[in-house]
């Protein structure tokens, strides 16, 4: 019995054909026990749009700075609602004064009161509209997109400008009561404008929604 026969138990084992190299796009085989490697040509995990760094997952909860800005929006809306109520009261009061002056025949007093009532009425509408905008932005932080983000940045920046102007005026008067309010408004506006601009805020508003 020769060593070359295939049934010879003492012969050399038959040669195995060389394994073909992994094809294009298939994962490479690593050492035993190692996790499978990502093969060339396989799709990589999707990077979150707008978030720095590829492959980072979308944030699952609202960032802390956005939560702070949201609370500030609700606080500002409460102040604006109170301001609207006070202005509405003055508008009604001046309107009553104007009507009383008309009944008594005081034309000049009536004209002045009527103009003041109109001014207070317009201011009431502005305050109520701003309060509605503040509440809407705060509520939409949870599901809003780029439109809410841009509107919040503009709204916060305008509020910070108003606070800065008021702070400069208060510094000229030298009264502490004239400085604290504008300073708080400046801080609130600055945080509201900055929260959607930082990377965590940008990622939150750009996250996918299913």
Give the separation between CA 154 and CA 164, rounded to whole angstroms.
Answer: 15
pLDDT of residue 189: 95
CB–CB of 118/90 below 8 Å? no
**Average pLDDT, consecutive stretches of 10 residues, N- to C-terminus, the chain (210 residues):** 53 55 52 53 48 52 92 96 93 71 49 71 93 95 90 95 92 82 93 94 85
Using alpha carbons only, give the angle 81, 83, 85 rounded to the nearest 5 degrees. 70
> Per-domain residue ranges for the chain?
64-206
Assess contact for 140 and 163: CB atoms under 8 A. no
DSSP count for the chain of H helices, then E strands: 5, 0
Taking alpha carbons only, the member of 139, 132, 198, 130 closest to residue 162 is 130
Output the pLDDT for position 50: 44
Contact 55, 44 (CB under 8 A): yes
Instruction: Give the per-residue pLDDT at 121.
Output: 87
Query: What is the radius of gyration, based on Cα positions, of the chain?
Result: 35
Torsion angle of C-alpha atoms 209, 50, 70, 158, degrees rounded to 10: -130
pLDDT of residue 55: 43
Structure token pair of residue 30: 């690593």
Q: List, in order, residues 6 or more apart from 187 with CB less than 8 Å away.
A: 163
- Cα 176 off chain centre by: 33
Whether pTM exceeds 0.85:
no
């Amino acid at each position: 019995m020769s060593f070359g026969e295939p049934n010879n138990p003492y012969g050399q084992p038959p040669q195995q054909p060389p394994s073909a190299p992994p094809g294009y796009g298939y994962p490479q085989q690593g050492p035993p026990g190692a996790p499978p490697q990502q093969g060339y040509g396989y799709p990589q995990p999707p990077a979150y749009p707008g978030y720095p760094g590829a492959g980072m997952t979308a944030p699952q909860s609202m960032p802390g700075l956005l939560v702070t800005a949201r609370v500030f929006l609700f606080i500002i809306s409460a102040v604006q609602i109170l301001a609207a109520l006070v202005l509405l009261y003055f508008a009604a009061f001046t309107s009553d004064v104007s009507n009383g002056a008309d009944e008594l025949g005081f034309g000049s007093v009536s004209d002045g009161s009527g103009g003041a009532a109109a001014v207070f009425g317009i201011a009431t509408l502005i305050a109520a509209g701003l309060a509605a905008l503040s509440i809407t932005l705060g509520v939409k932080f949870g599901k809003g997109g780029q439109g809410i983000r841009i509107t919040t940045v503009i709204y916060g920046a305008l509020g910070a400008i108003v606070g800065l102007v008021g702070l400069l005026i208060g510094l000229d008067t030298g009264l502490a009561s004239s400085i604290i309010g504008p300073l708080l408004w400046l801080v609130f506006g600055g945080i509201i404008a900055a929260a959607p601009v930082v990377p965590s805020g940008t990622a939150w508003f750009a996250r996918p929604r299913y």
